[in-house]
Amino acid sequence: MDDKELKETLEVHTASIQGMLDNQLLLAAQVQVLQAALATVLLHHADRPALLRTFKGYMKISKEGTPQLAKHMEALEGGMLALLGQGTEPTA
């Protein structure tokens, strides 16, 4: 591979990496907006205990389906559980 080919390859890879970084930032921003919208809805929902039970079920399925991400999901899950009233639901 000559210098010109190497430089072109490097430029292509640099552009690809920059594109991935841009996409990552856009996805992070989108997640933040969705979290804010979800928090707004959840704070005003009439049956938060039912939502809490459903959320726990979906999180269990999600963590089992993507075990490599389970540890990363736990902190986010904790925040959602607090928002949904974890520990404040009535005992049956």
pLDDT, tens digit (0-9, with 9 covering 90-100), for 38-67: 888 887 888 888 888 888 899 899 999 999
* 3-state class (DSSP) for residue 18: helix
Q: What's the CA gap between 34 and 54, in Å, rounded?
A: 19
Q: For the purposes of burial, counting CB atoms within 10 Å of the CB of 67, is it exposed (0-12), middle (13-18) or buried (19 or more)?
A: exposed
List, as own/partner pairs, every contact residues 28-33 make where C-beta atoms lie below 8 angstroms and the sequence separation is at least 24, other chains included: none
Of 11, 28, 44, the last residue of a domain is 44
| pLDDT for res 17 | 97
pTM: 0.56
- The reply to whether 12 and 30 lie within a common domain is yes
Domain span holding position 25? 1-44
- The reply to whether 20 and 8 lie within a common domain is yes
